[in-house]
Amino acid sequence: MELAKLSGARLARVRGETGNVHVGVIREGELTVLDGDDMLATLERGEIRHGLETIPVLDAETLELPEPWELLVPMVAPETWAAGVTYERSRSARMHESKVVDVYELVYKAERPELFVKDAAGRRTVGPGAPIAARSDASWTVPEPELAVVLGASGPLAVTIGNDVSSRDIEGANPLYLPQAKIYAGACALGPALLVPESWDLQYHIECRILDADGAELFCEGTSTESMRRSIDELVEYLKRDNPVPPGSVLLTGTGLVPPDDVTLTPGQTVEIRIPGIGLLRNPVAAANEPS
């Protein structure tokens, strides 16, 4: 079965009854299972060649699939990077939490952005439905809903939803603790699908909800990538400057949504991040030392 170009399509990684992983393309309430599991090669090719079968999508946002099909993290990135202080709200929140406030004001106004490694080889990254984690030695953990960009050999290829889970109390104690606040098991989530934009000039609305164990809403807020101080092109240019970032890597572009001080992620809660056009990324919260 031959399908059209990828522009405007959503792609996912799925596993079926045989245990084999496939790339799938989602259009009009159906997922067409492709012959192969190489998401990067599919994106770089820019078109879909071989469709094996078509299965219904039970939920257009979460991309829930009928059994035995399982939705996986859409990209196992060789490296995942993150940008910080790209929204004014993030600058204010990090100044509020920190004992060294000037550093965040300086970064927000500086020509050079804040960029840091979030993960490598997908070891700390989960997909839709899998648990994200609150670090065991942190007292204030928050989700950071972000637009994430998949990078190819020559530039951005697709976007998805990212959650840069962070221990704000650890970073706030000293900015040099940033790696410990940001890099631990279950501290990143991606999904549910990759969107190949028809235009890279599009802006995206981002909404985040935190629900307690009974489903009651603890936090709900939205923002737009229009509020980003830096462009995707600028962040990518700085990231790849003198830095051999491998194709298939993911860049989280920063957050404009920060829960209030009295909200912290605890086991039993659920985080939902929605970006229209991409979908809804839903993850339960667990302790970092709990098995997934």
Tokens of 21: 């992983």
Question: Is 244 in a helix, a strand, or coil?
Answer: coil
In a domain? residue 96: yes
Percent of the chain past pLDDT 70, that is, above it, reads: 92
In a domain? residue 226: yes
User: Tens of pLDDT along 235-246?
Assistant: 999 999 999 999
In a domain? residue 59: yes
- Residue ending a domain, among 32, 56, 72, is 72
- Give 159's strand partners: 149, 195
pLDDT at 8: 92
Does the pTM surpass 0.85? The reply is yes
Domain that holds residue 54: 10-72
- Residue ending a domain, among 72, 93, 120, is 72
In a domain? residue 2: no
Quick one: 243 and 118 in the same domain?
yes
Quick one: 120 and 207 in the same domain?
yes
Q: How many domains does the chain have?
A: 2
pLDDT at 291: 47
In a domain? residue 1: no
User: Tens of pLDDT along 43-90?
Assistant: 999 988 778 899 999 999 999 999 999 999 999 999 999 998 888 755
What CATH number did the domain enclosing 102 receive? 3.90.850.10
Half-sphere exposure of 140 (CA within 13 A, CB side): 16
Between the alpha carbon of residue 289 and those of residues 122, 184, 264, 268, the distances in Å are: 17, 10, 17, 14
pLDDT at 106: 78
Quick one: 66 and 100 in the same domain?
no
DSSP assignment of 195-241: E--S-TT---EEEEEEE-TTS-EEEEEEEEGGG-SS-HHHHHHHHHT
Question: Residues 250-261: what's their mean pLDDT?
Answer: 93
CB atoms within 10 A of CB 51: 15
